[in-house]
Amino acid sequence: MQKKGIAILGSTGSIGTQALEVIEVYPEKFNLEVITANYNADLLIKQAIKHKPNMVVIADEAQYQKVNDALWDHDIKVFAGADALAQVCETQEVDTVLTALVGYAGLKPTLTAIRAGKNIALANKETLVVAGEIVTKEAAERGVNIYPVDSEHSAIFQCLVGEFHNPIEKIYLTASGGPFRGWKREQLIDVKKEQALKHPNWEMGAKITIDSASLMNKGLEVIEAKWLFNLRPDQIDVIVHPQSIVHSIVQFEDGSMKAQMGLPDMKLPIQFALTYPDRFKTDFPRFNFMDYPNLTFEQPDRETFNNLNLAFQAMEMGGNAACALNAANEITVASFLKDEISFLDIARINEKTMLETTAVKVPTYEDYVASDAEARRLALEFIQK
Ligand code: NDP
């Protein structure tokens, strides 16, 4: 494998910091070209001094001077702002862009990177949820690969290696069920963000942790899978697997099922997205069957956790519906994290917003931008009512 130039968008987050850990083990395989943060200038500076990328971007322009002053004698170029975040992806030395920022903000830099012919290691699922049709079409037109980082989608991808010519009959995305697995609506009325932020198996950023508790994360993943693997909604099923050992399953047309397994550790899917088709030796802890004598599976409770239904509904509605659902969810989760709405309000307002956002059947990029803005405005209105 030739040395790969890597850009990590969102290096200060949960995926971003783990990606840096992966990359630093293989200095002969990777050149770190770009790292970026939104507000966390202190960590970005620390990372830059330690990992020596060629460029850093701080999205918050007010902190440009601070980052620039700290790095002036380190031979690292410093940029600021959302446009710079997209532009650095075009740099010639970058081969693969790891999109590890959170939410809709990932769409523009991902499209810019694809248009510049860069392969994508995609953690930022919201990009495919919002504009999957445009993103996958543009990637296919330019021969750009999108390698999944999400553990479930990486699992499906790993099961498909050597099988790309064999049609998929169905996939099963596994879900841990989150901290409220087995809970009913009456128990969820008063839950606090501290409870929702306690994921049983994964340490992740705040937004995805709340999404996991509300099953919105699994809904977003269903839509992500549709675009990544070109599936119809009826080919995608969700199964709750509380131990998070089976990361997902593919069923082929002969009835055979392949699953990918391992201890829950995001470093593995991050690494595979950067090294595919190779597998590099790691010292990650190995799975021991005797530690898990019972792997269990159960149906998700779609009645209590309506967000999962909303994702399937968005796929049926098509057009900009998933974009509206995603925008609503970014607003409701932020609002829940500020104690402004209850946990059950998240799905309620998400649904109302998705249904009331002006429908666009075949959206352009500009339509998605407008729908995102409209849905955010509506969701805020519903929160204030
Ligand atoms: P975090 O919140 O931990 O990190 C997000 C990163 O993106 C930070 O570097 C943050 O900067 C930056 N960022 C956030 N908003 C913006 C913005 N508007 N503009 C520019 N940069 C921004 O998130 P995670 O790492 O948990 O998740 C990242 C993505 O990966 C999400 O889409 C998530 O769904 C997906 N994912 C995450 C998994 C996980 O285990 N964490 C598993 C599978 C998928 P700053 O630090 O300055 O705020």
Report how far ligand 1's centroid is from the alpha carbon of 100 (Å): 5
pLDDT at 214 (0 to 100): 98
pLDDT at 196 (0 to 100): 96
- Closest atom of ligand 1 to CA, residue 40: 47
Cis peptide before 363 (omega within 30 of 0): no
- Closest atom of ligand 1 to CA, residue 266: 40
The answer to whether the CB of 337 falls within 8 A of the CB of 206 is yes
In one letter, which amino acid is 260?
A: Q
Q: How far apart are CA 29 and CA 23, in angstroms?
A: 8
- Closest atom of ligand 1 to CA, residue 17: 25
Task: Determine whether the shortest distance from the Cβ of 123 to ligand 1 is under 6 A.
Answer: yes
- Closest atom of ligand 1 to CA, residue 150: 43
CATH T-level topology, domain 4-148:
Rossmann fold (3.40.50)
Report how far ligand 1's centroid is from the alpha carbon of 106 (Å): 9
Helix or strand (DSSP H, E) at 202: none
The domain 318-385 is placed in CATH, from the list 3.40.50.800, 1.10.150.450, 1.10.1740.10, 1.10.540.10, at 1.10.1740.10
Task: Determine whether the shortest distance from the Cβ of 101 to ligand 1 is under 6 A.
Answer: yes
Mutate to test the pocket of ligand 1, among 44, 89, 208, 215 (most ligand atoms within 8 A of CB): 208
Q: How far apart are CA 293 and CA 90, in angstroms?
A: 49
**Tens digits of pLDDT across the chain (385 residues):** 689 999 999 999 999 999 999 999 999 999 999 999 999 999 999 999 999 999 999 999 999 999 999 999 999 999 999 999 999 999 999 999 999 999 999 999 999 999 999 999 999 999 999 999 999 999 999 999 999 999 999 999 999 999 999 999 999 999 999 999 999 999 999 999 999 999 888 889 999 999 999 999 999 999 999 999 999 999 999 999 999 999 999 999 999 999 999 999 999 999 999 999 999 999 999 999 999 999 999 999 999 999 999 999 999 999 999 999 999 999 999 999 999 999 999 999 999 999 999 999 999 999 999 999 999 999 999 999 8
Smallest CA-to-CA distance from 35 within 85, 70, 83, 72 is with: 85
Task: Determine whether the shortest distance from the Cβ of 126 to ligand 1 is under 6 A.
Answer: yes
Which residue is it, tokens 């070109």? 230
Any idea where the domains of the chain sit in the sequence? 4-148, 151-264+288-304, 318-385
- Closest atom of ligand 1 to CA, residue 105: 18
Please state whether beta strands 257-261 and 246-252 pair in parallel, antiparallel, or not at all (unpaired). antiparallel
Task: Determine whether the shortest distance from the Cβ of 14 to ligand 1 is under 6 A.
Answer: yes
pLDDT at 172 (0 to 100): 98
Task: Determine whether the shortest distance from the Cβ of 40 to ligand 1 is under 6 A.
Answer: yes
Report how far ligand 1's centroid is from the alpha carbon of 102 (Å): 4
Smallest CA-to-CA distance from 105 within 382, 376, 384, 383 is with: 376
pLDDT at 118 (0 to 100): 98
Which residue has its alpha carbon closest to ligand 1 atom 7?
Answer: 101
Task: Determine whether the shortest distance from the Cβ of 129 to ligand 1 is under 6 A.
Answer: no
pLDDT at 26 (0 to 100): 96
φ, ψ at 58 (rounded to 5°): -110, 120
